[in-house]
Amino acid sequence: MLKIIKNGWTLAWNQPFTVCTLFIYNLLWGLALFDMIHSIVFPLLRRYPGKELSREAVQLFWVEGHFQITKTDLLHSYIGWGIGLLLARMLLTPLLNAGVYYSLKHTELNAGYRFVQGMRKLALPFFGYYLAQMALQLGPLYWLVPKATQLYGKQVTLYGAAQDILPLLGAYLAYMFILQTLFMYLQFGKVSGKSPFFSVSILLRNVLPVLLLAIIVMLIGLLITAAVMTSTMIWAGFLALLGFQAYRFVHMFCKMWEITTQYALWSAKSE
């Protein structure tokens, strides 16, 4: 087990181009999302009545806001902007996944070249995998959301509602983890020229090692997150900002490490 974790670390360490690309992608995505939220929230905060104004002014603010949302096309541009960002992410994510997984298999090629080659050669199958995974992840919400709403309405306290809803939420998170691992191994098989049945068989025969590897790497990532968050509370100002940005890069490396550790297990078991 420790050997596989070490091999996964080595594989991730030898993928600096991939880690940097994913870091930049997530950074740009975060900036775009922040800009959209800022453009919506900041104008509202500037118009919100202060403490010096009467209660009637606050009520008038909410009435005016309700009128603009329900009777005007104010939300149309925001909804269009949000849909555009969502579609862009849905198109870019499978492309980046193709580059990442292809880079793991073809380490003999130049880093940038193999990443782009993966995007060119595997774009369509990875896009299909992505759509299938999203459909399977979102499908249970059709039943889960009404069920959670119903349970929440039956309880008189937040604690009672949490007792009923948290088991459903935990089951759904476990389901998402299983799906993510399944499609990870399917993509390993795709870049290796193996059939989906071969990939699923390896996963089923090694369920316990797969779970242990995922938990160990996840715990290490959580420890790193806790250390960085604690340091930002102690060191205010520029050092906190620098530490947070370094954490974002380290976090992306840990995400890559999760993939490469499972790929090391895949490689060992598929020989």
- pLDDT tens digits for range 231-271: 666 665 556 666 666 777 888 888 898 899 999 998 888 76
What pLDDT is stored for residue 44 in this prediction?
65
pLDDT value at 34 more than 80: no
What pLDDT is stored for residue 51 in this prediction?
63
Find, among 208, 140, 225, 144, the residue nearest to 176 by Cα: 140
What pLDDT is stored for residue 243 in this prediction?
65
Q: Please report the sign of the dihedral spanned by the C-alpha atoms of residue 208, residue 210, residue 215, residue 216.
A: positive
Taking only the tens place, the pLDDT of each residue in 107-143 is 888 888 889 889 999 999 999 999 999 999 988 888 8
The pLDDT-based confidence of 1 (bands split at 50, 70, 90) is confident
Taking only Cα atoms into account, the Rg of the chain, rounded to an integer number of angstroms, comes to 23
Residue 106 gets the label, from left (phi > 0), alpha (psi -120 to 50) or beta, of beta
What pLDDT is stored for residue 154 in this prediction?
72
- What mean pLDDT is predicted for residues 193-216? 88
Give me the half-sphere count of Cα atoms (radius 13 Å) on the Cβ side of residue 57. 8
Mean pLDDT, the chain, integer: 81
- What mean pLDDT is predicted for residues 218-239? 70
Contacts of 111 (CB under 8 A, 6+ apart): 15, 16, 17, 18, 103
CA–CA separation, 81 and 43 (whole Å): 17
CA angle, residues 29, 31, 33, in degrees to nearest 5: 70
Taking only the tens place, the pLDDT of each residue in 129-139 is 999 999 999 88
pLDDT value at 30 more than 80: no
